[in-house]
Structure 1
């Protein structure tokens, strides 16, 4: 009975998220010139699309290696092949199921044998967090430059304030978490302090801090390059330096779990942000759609591992 209820809830959630995604896409399509976006997509340059596929595939491999070193700091040994295999599998699940995190949860479950589910779950969460930290660093640098140096990006007051709050909040989060922990009951305080200790060891330990920074910045820049290449495929000139300021904001919207894999939210953000750099909203919409399709394509190798993994779990 409990299992059937959970299954129904998942299907209801999937239907709701698909409906929200379709609704947002339809709204954006109507507000901007959807016909122009479709025209741009129909004339996509295959070579630039292949370049986007290549750089975003590299991003998956780099993310898998980041997970490998993160897990290693928490007592979980993964070889490169296994890490890359599991990461591809998680990506195909994240792209097709609601929430965008079920694939990551599966990673944690399948590697729990060495150190337990708590440690494997922390490794997955901290690896994903490291990726967001990389994007936040890029956004912080690019935003600071575009605010102080005229030209490139014209930030409306409301958006500049929002980005400032995001950056300050992100930088202050570790200190705030530590301060809040002191106010919690003993058991909760112990739990939070344990998480903080794990984060320090996995992300900032002496053995891994440089690699964590390298992998996180590299994956952030690879994602941005993927968007730039998708834009170029459509004949949209989105300079990389400018993209560093707006693309992280577009990608952050994909973290909001109200649609499937960020569809709809990502396109709405692109339609709003592209005009800030002198491009059209329809160009933003088309670029985001192309980027979303490429994300699906690069996740397809995960299907090769799905059957064998399902068989192993069944055993």
Structure 2
């Protein structure tokens, strides 16, 4: 374990400790212990659906780049990547391994592009849902009321996403390797996401995946005593889940709980309720990745060298 990973683990533990002692962690634990198992089961089903649909999205993206990945293999690889991402800081090591293991048919460059674009599409869908939720709140007052700092945060996030898209589009004019790489990326994005044969399926898959992810968090909130409306889910849950992409802790632990504790009072719930809901989501997500352990054990069994034959003495 290097210094960076050690620091990420320490940051996660420090943030969780601050939340526990600053927000009456005992009350959050009480809500978590009394969580409704039916709502938790619904969250587990939503997260399982998200994994299977994400594997299908990766398979579609890879196919557009010349790779053919059987659906069963794609699902197994996705589960394995999730286990690794949950176990190690950074949250991308498992995806890198997914690209390496899929490199044989089209090369590591295309395999890596397929994985990166597939994950990027998921983040774009999350941003679009957040934008739609914020627009709904703005145009239809009388429901969820967001303070100016939350609207400012949403505006900043959407602005960063827009600037990134414009930068990718304009970087193709740069000379040298940077311009070549940008043009290659634009071409890959066009083929995988915007091609007539791929666009409808990409839209459907990304909306379904994002919906399953948001629903899983809302189910965990319901399990711990907080019912969230669709608009509240569309606005607040993306803000909570986007903290998981920050490489400051292990798989977003601590940051996600802090965001939930800070945002739940906006819907009339307590900070402790937000902490409990986020903890339940994190635990259910961990549980939903357990099939990846079976994949890992199966791969180790297949790759285990056969015992050397015992030769008789002459």
The TM-score range, normalised by the shorter chain, is over 0.9
Structure 1: unaligned runs, 5 residues or longer: 1-7
For the residues of structure 1 that align with 2:133 and 2:92, how far apart are their CA atoms?
Answer: 28
Q: CA deviation at 1:312?
A: 5.5
Structure 2: unaligned runs, 5 residues or longer: 306-314
For the residues of structure 2 that align with 1:94 and 1:303, how far apart are their CA atoms?
Answer: 12
For the residues of structure 2 that align with 1:168 and 1:97, how far apart are their CA atoms?
Answer: 30
For the residues of structure 1 that align with 2:301 and 2:61, how far apart are their CA atoms?
Answer: 27
How many corresponding residue pairs?
305
The answer to whether structure 1 residue 285 and structure 2 residue 282 are counterparts is no
Q: Are the aligned partners of 1:138 and 1:244 in contact in 2 as well (CA < 8 Å)?
A: yes
Q: Residue 101 of structure 1 corresponds to which residue in structure 2?
A: 92
Give the alignment partner of residue 144 of structure 1, picking from 121, 131, 135: 135
Q: Residue 312 of structure 2 corresponds to which residue in structure 1?
A: none
The answer to whether structure 1 residue 22 and structure 2 residue 7 are counterparts is no
Range moving further from structure 2, 290-299 or 229-238? 229-238
TM-score by length of 1: 0.93
Residues 156-194 of structure 1 show CA distances to partners (whole Å, capped at 9, x for unaligned) of 222212211222332343223222332x33222111110
Q: Residue 50 of structure 1 corresponds to which residue in structure 2?
A: 41
Indicate the SS of the match to 1:248.
helix
Higher-Rg member (1/2): 2
Q: Residue 305 of structure 1 corresponds to which residue in structure 2?
A: 295
Q: CA deviation at 1:313?
A: 6.2
For the residues of structure 1 that align with 2:45 and 2:117, how far apart are their CA atoms?
Answer: 25
For the residues of structure 1 that align with 2:236 and 2:142, how far apart are their CA atoms?
Answer: 14
Equivalences for residues 227-238 of structure 1 within 5 A: 227-238=217-228
Q: Are the aligned partners of 1:139 and 1:245 in contact in 2 as well (CA < 8 Å)?
A: yes
Computed over aligned residues only, the root mean square deviation of the Cα atoms, in angstroms, reads 1.5
Q: Are the aligned partners of 1:152 and 1:242 in contact in 2 as well (CA < 8 Å)?
A: no
Task: Go from structure 1 to structure 2 and tell me whether the alpha carbon gap of 1:205 and 1:311 turns closer, same or farther (over 3 Å shift).
Answer: farther
Give the alignment partner of residue 206 of structure 1, picking from 196, 199, 211: 196
For the residues of structure 1 that align with 2:299 and 2:65, how far apart are their CA atoms?
Answer: 23
Give the alignment partner of residue 259 of structure 1, picking from 242, 249, 257: 249
For the residues of structure 2 that align with 1:239 and 1:312, how far apart are their CA atoms?
Answer: 47
The answer to whether structure 1 residue 226 and structure 2 residue 216 are counterparts is yes
Structure 1 residue runs of 4 or more that deviate by more than 6 Å after TM superposition: none
Indicate the SS of the match to 2:269.
coil
For the residues of structure 2 that align with 1:161 and 1:263, how far apart are their CA atoms?
Answer: 24
